[in-house]
Structure 1
Amino acid sequence: MQSEQGYYGQYGGSYIPEILYTSQQQIVEAFEDAKNDPSFLQELHKQWQQFSGRPTPLTHCENLSHYFGGAQIYLKREDLNHSGAHKMNNVIGQGLLVKRMGKTRVIAETGAGQHGIATALVAARLGLECTIYMGAKDIARQYPNVFWMKQLGATVISVSTGSQTLKDALDEALRDWSGSHQNSHYLIGTACGCAPFPEMVAYFQSVIGDEVKTQSQTQFKGLPNKLYACVGGGSNAIGLFNAFLDNDSVEMIGVEAAGKGTAIGEHSIRLSHNYGSKAIAQGFSSIFLQNESGQLQDTHSIAAGLDYVGVSPIIAHLAETGRVRMAYASDEEVLNACSLLLKKEGIIPALESSHALAAAFREAKQRPKDEHIVINLSGRGDKDIFNVAKAFQDDEFVPFIQDYADQFHKTNDVTSEV
């Protein structure tokens, strides 16, 4: 979906300090040139295929379809990308732009850690210095990803201000970019921020929907009836939806995090019940959760990647115009959907993606058996093992962690003595 001078209806734009204007214009020009450069597009598709593993399959969930007795359920398997999520699509594209612009360093923000690890992977491959900002709370619940970021050579900076989550990491990344823009590129992970980032991220992620369009024609001789994707910032949803925007017969459903309640700080619903309102923050205009004074509110989701206080201006516009229907899923529904996919199909989903699963499962049973729905499985669940084990109350997991920690310290003590 292309913007109109950086806007999607009333959302989008560019609200940045004057010091970043020159850098922003350089990105605009590089992106426009790259889109029309066959050699860039050839390298992009080469890296998608040879480094990330595209195309990802469209998997028919026969067991779940039979279990619900309704629509045929398919998963777009973005969990099978290198790094385990859709984030690689965008990071590879922006990484190649960084090299094209002659810059030597990338800055990123991350919540669930999937964008952080994808950025660190590509930075290592392309020989770029890498700094990643991550909220202290997110580091605590997604530490396996943090560990790998560090091993890949990235500097991970813990953000302990505010809610210590994604919005605060984004604030710190913007501050860094303001002081280092001459040699650094802010590699935004979702379709938010000042223009041209929403359009650029959507462009690189649109490979998801392009593949689904081809695969659905091959596998069930038509287009899907419904598409489901979780919505934090919104990049995986836009990536799936973009190819189908002109096909009115395809309904598109974005799923937000209902968390554990409706009180402030218990959820991350911005659009589903109009809890959010229009504001300008973090470089762009969109729908944000804010109080009467315009202060951004705290959020919650069991999935670290879905507790962002705002939403992509593209998603905000599509929801406002009715092209995308917004839904939600609670933490409890998410865990149930995660467990069901594990046991029925042998696939381990990320908690973010499990929001889309939950909403789709609710509705699939009510649909005819000859309908086809596609759920974007935007990431795999390896990173969520600690949160899932805690939520599922696995009695053996805590003693295992304690024993492993004891053995780890003993080994280190022996090594130190030697």
Structure 2
Amino acid sequence: MRRRLLMALAVLPAVAQAGVEDGATGCASAPLVAYADLPATAALPDPFLSRSGAALKRKSDWPCRRREVSQQLQAYELGEKPAPVPGSVSATLDGTALTVTVKDAGRSVSFVANVQLPSSGTPPYPALIGIGRSSLNNAELLQRGVAIINFPNDDIAQQRNGQSRNLGKFFELYPQREGAGALVAWAWGVSRLIDAIELGALPNVDAGRLGVTGCSRNGKGALMAGALDERVALTIVQESGSGGAAAWRVSDAQKAAGQNVQTLGQIVQENVWFRSSFGQFGAGAAKLPYDHHQVLGLVAPRSLLVIENTSMEWLGNQSAWTAALAGREVWTALGATDRMGISQVGGHNHCLLPASQAVEVNAFVDRFLKGTAGVATDVVHTDGSFPVERSRWMPWKTPALD
């Protein structure tokens, strides 16, 4: 019994391990399927069925399954995230400005992240990295002993409109990555920022207690940053819509039902968040071998809080609720449901955090960044009346992984 408990604890660390951006090792790599050969699947794909068709049976199977979904996400939707180059990152701190420099293949770029240290607590502090900025209860978090770091995502990859393709420091460093989406560039930049913190560039910040957050388009970026770097202990995705917490398939169904919802076919024409080839799925999201319930699941078994706004139909309110419930099944299979929360509250402006959700943010921050014991984080609720068609969207079974 003691051996099984120790194994479970090893699979489900309380916080991310410092220095481990991608901890999956020794995984077989199944070939990716060309777009023309992808079958259409109406339901949300089974998170627990590997690309070879084998069902997951053990918690130890999850890292390789996670890597499979990550490879598909990057290959079909985002573009590939460059692997870190040892010794390529350096940083300097001047007041509140942290300058991170990254070098690769004779090229060099630098970006500046602004750091706000808390007014209470004892260093080294936990920190939340805001994509662009944090739209949470920042003043309260600072008072509670949590640092806020603003990550300059537009500097890394521009996203003004469809003409922003390949613009930004990511593409200056990696010109061969032409066609990659802004979201994967931002995720890469957050990882290099974490590298700098691990190097001791922010001596008052604890590299082992880092979270990432963002709202709307920045919420999409926060999800990808947390999904693609296992050093992120807590991911808070706020009103992220299509390309974030919402599922492409369910958003299509909402649109077909007459609702004003952003779909895959529309979003690829609006901006450059996704790789240029992702547009081929515009008329057929059902051909994707994954959906965003699995992108949410890439964070597991680390901590995730999905904050939604019932009033934002354009963001796929029903779609995000359905996808988050489906994604939560990954935490259920891993025996870690209290590490994944879903909160959907309407009646407020976009990216304006209501008081009730601030309480939930504080709980997740207290437990998963500050390490406070006994904090309740089993949050799953909506003030909407959305039908959850499990037989339609989740016809698969959730295993109790050994």
Largest Rg, 1 or 2: 1
Bigger helix fraction: 1
Q: Same fold (TM over 0.5)?
A: no
TM range (shorter): 0.3 to 0.5
Query: Under a length normalisation based on structure 1, what TM-score does the superposition of the two structures give?
Result: 0.35
Query: Under a length normalisation based on structure 2, what TM-score does the superposition of the two structures give?
Result: 0.36
